[in-house]
Amino acid sequence: MTPDPIPRAVLLLSCMAHPIRLAVLARLHSVGPADVGTLRHELDVDQSGLSHHLRQLRDARLVVGERDGRRIIYRLHDAHVGRILDDTLAHAAELDAEASP
């Protein structure tokens, strides 16, 4: 019997459903891999909060961190995450366009 994917999907979507975590994912998807310092600067968030969000994204297997000397470079876990982001952001833009007078 195949396990029900709904509970896992709920966990993934709920992890993505935070403005900072979604911004991190969108940034990694649109620009590419980055370290904490780059993400902190570009997203204008404090480092301790960002580290907490990155840990949640890693735990949910939405991002992967790879060590490069003293830095950890973060990237999306796989292409599925990018497609989820593309579809979600496109759908949100369509809804906003429909709601505009």
- Topology (CATH level 3) of domain 7-99: Arc Repressor Mutant, subunit A (1.10.10)
Distance CA 94, CA 3 (A): 33
Q: Which of 28, 27, 23, 70 is nearest to 49 (CA)?
A: 23
Distance CA 37, CA 33 (A): 12
Q: Give the domain ranges of the chain.
A: 7-99
Residues 8-52: pLDDT tens digits?
999 999 999 999 999 999 999 999 999 999 999 999 999 999 999
Strand partners, 67: 72
**Please, are residues 64 and 33 in contact by the beta-carbon 8 Å criterion?**
no
Residues 61-100: pLDDT tens digits?
999 999 999 999 999 999 999 999 999 999 999 998 888 7
